[in-house]
């Protein structure tokens, strides 16, 4: 009989690629993880891992077992959801990992709605920029993630996660007020190809969104200055340090001194925001009301 707790450990090792990183995510010691994996190999009668450089990778048998692990763990999430619903479980705490503007745009309004309609559900928010929020959900440190679609994100059909689309918003071009391109009603990305650029660090999904948009326009932006704080990005643009693409919602209410903001004509960067929970947990009576409140809040997001 395979112990499902060991399947969680196998999945964590597959996600993190090293025993040490998986152990840290699971709040276990590396030796405990190694022992549980050895026991799982005894249970299955197959070697499940092999060394790969400084990390590990799954063997063919390990990949087969991982596929079943996704299904088993999702079914356990569904079982917990149904038991919670049977017990009238719309009472408890939900931890949400989200990026700053996502908190402002949809999570805060959803929390307000939830307080009125489901007062037994308490929401605890973790500000998690970049791609950290999905990892927190997969590792069990958060129940729900607000995340941005990017090139390295888990696919919509990922068997570990259930996703709910929320909203999409364009990135606007932010230029120094003295830039000649700021005199027109809009700009194209190709017109900005020879400028110095300001943008988020690699690892931030917005960095990937900007790079992909520029690639589609036929160039690689010359990123000279880096910051994950869009207020800093805009301030640098106002100081004449370069140009930037910034999500439209991040610009609302911001001091735009010495800059001009122009919509991008033609193919442009777009931030697609979604909510995610562990697959099988989407009907949990603690999570479903929050997901519904997020969808309702997202319907009110204006990108114009």
- Give the model's pLDDT for residue 303: 60
Instruction: Give 27-73 pLDDT, tens digit per residue.
Output: 889 888 888 888 888 888 889 988 888 888 899 998 988 888 888 88
Instruction: Give 5-30 pLDDT, tens digit per residue.
Output: 898 898 888 888 899 988 888 888 98
- Give the model's pLDDT for residue 80: 77
Q: 130 — alpha (psi -120 to 50), left (phi > 0) or beta?
A: left
What confidence category does residue 302 fall into, taking pLDDT thresholds of 50, 70 and 90?
Answer: low
Matching residue, tokens 């017990």: 87
Answer yes or no: are the C-beta atoms of 84 and 285 closer than 8 Å. Answer: yes
Instruction: Give 201-259 pLDDT, tens digit per residue.
Output: 988 889 989 999 999 999 999 999 999 999 999 999 999 999 999 999 899 888 898 99
Structure tokens at 237: 């643009």
Rg of the chain over Cα atoms, rounded to whole angstroms, equals: 22
- Give the model's pLDDT for residue 127: 93
pLDDT at 298 over 60: yes
Phi, psi of 111 (to 5 degrees): -60, -40
pLDDT at 304 over 70: no
- Give the model's pLDDT for residue 89: 58
- Give the model's pLDDT for residue 75: 83
pLDDT at 148 over 60: yes
CA distance 172 to 169: 10
- Residue in 95, 81, 193, 111 with CA at minimum distance from that of residue 145: 95
Burial state string for 246-271 with b = 16 or more CB within 10 A and e = fewer than 16: bbbbbbeebeeeebbbbebeeebbbb
Task: Give Cα separations from 8 to 212, 220, 240, 280 (angstroms).
Answer: 34, 40, 50, 14
Higher pLDDT, 294 or 203: 294
Answer yes or no: are the C-beta atoms of 174 and 231 closer than 8 Å. Answer: no
- Three-state SS string across the chain, please? CCCHHHHHHHHHHHHHCCHHHHHHHHCCCHHHHHHHHHHHHHHHCCCCEEEECCEEEECHHHHHHHHHHHHHHHHHHHHHHHHHHHCCCCCEEEEEEECHHHHHHHHHHHHHHHHHHCCCEEEEEEECCCCHHHHHHHCCCCCEEEEECCCCCCCCCCCCEEEEEEEEEEEEEEEECCCHHHHCCCECHHHHCCCEEEECCCCCHHHHHHHHHHHHCCCCCEEEEECCCHHHHHHHHHCCCCEEEEEHHHHCCCCCCCEEEECECCCCCEEEEEEEEECCCCCCCCCHHHHHHHHHHHHCCCCC
CB atoms < 10 A from the CB of 46, how many?
14
Matching residue, tokens 């692990």: 69
Instruction: Give 262-282 pLDDT, tens digit per residue.
Output: 999 987 889 899 999 999 988
Answer yes or no: are the C-beta atoms of 178 and 240 closer than 8 Å. Answer: yes
Map out the domains of the chain with their CATH numbers.
Answer: 4-83 (1.10.10.10), 89-166+272-299 (3.40.190.10), 168-270 (3.40.190.10)
Answer yes or no: are the C-beta atoms of 59 and 254 closer than 8 Å. Answer: no
Instruction: Give 159-218 pLDDT, tens digit per residue.
Output: 899 999 999 999 999 999 999 999 989 999 999 999 999 999 988 889 989 999 999 999
Mean pLDDT of 149-160: 82
């Amino acid at each position: 009989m395979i112990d499902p707790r060991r399947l969680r450990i196998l999945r964590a090792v597959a996600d993190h690629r090293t025993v040490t990183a998986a152990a840290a995510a699971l709040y276990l010691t590396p030796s405990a993880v190694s022992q549980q994996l050895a026991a799982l190999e005894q249970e299955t009668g197959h070697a499940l891992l092999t060394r790969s450089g400084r990390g590990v990778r799954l063997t063919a048998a390990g990949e087969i077992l991982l596929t079943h692990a996704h299904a088993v763990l999702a079914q356990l999430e569904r079982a917990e959801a149904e038991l919670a619903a049977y017990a009238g479980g719309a009472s408890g705490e939900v931890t949400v990992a989200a990026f700053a503007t996502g908190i402002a745009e949809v999570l805060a309004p959803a929390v307000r709605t939830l307080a009125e309609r489901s007062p037994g559900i308490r929401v605890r928010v973790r500000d998690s920029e970049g791609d950290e929020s999905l990892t927190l959900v997969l590792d069990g440190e958060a129940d729900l993630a607000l995340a941005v679609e990017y090139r390295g994100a888990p696919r919509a059909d990922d068997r570990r996660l259930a996703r709910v689309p929320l909203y999409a918003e364009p990135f606007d071009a932010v230029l120094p007020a003295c830039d000649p391109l700021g005199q027109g009603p809009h700009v194209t990305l190709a017109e900005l190809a020879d400028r110095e650029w300001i943008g988020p660090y690699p690892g931030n999904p917005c960095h990937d969104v900007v790079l992909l948009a520029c690639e589609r326009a036929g160039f690689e932006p010359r990123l000279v200055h880096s910051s994950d704080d869009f207020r800093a990005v805009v301030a640098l643009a106002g100081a004449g340090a370069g140009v930037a693409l910034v999500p439209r919602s991040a610009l609302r209410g911001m001091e735009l001194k010495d800059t001009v903001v122009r919509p991008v004509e033609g193919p442009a960067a777009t931030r697609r925001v979604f909510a995610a929970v562990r697959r099988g947990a989407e009907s949990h009576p603690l999570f479903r009301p929050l997901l519904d409140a997020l969808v309702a809040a997202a319907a009110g997001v204006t990108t114009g």
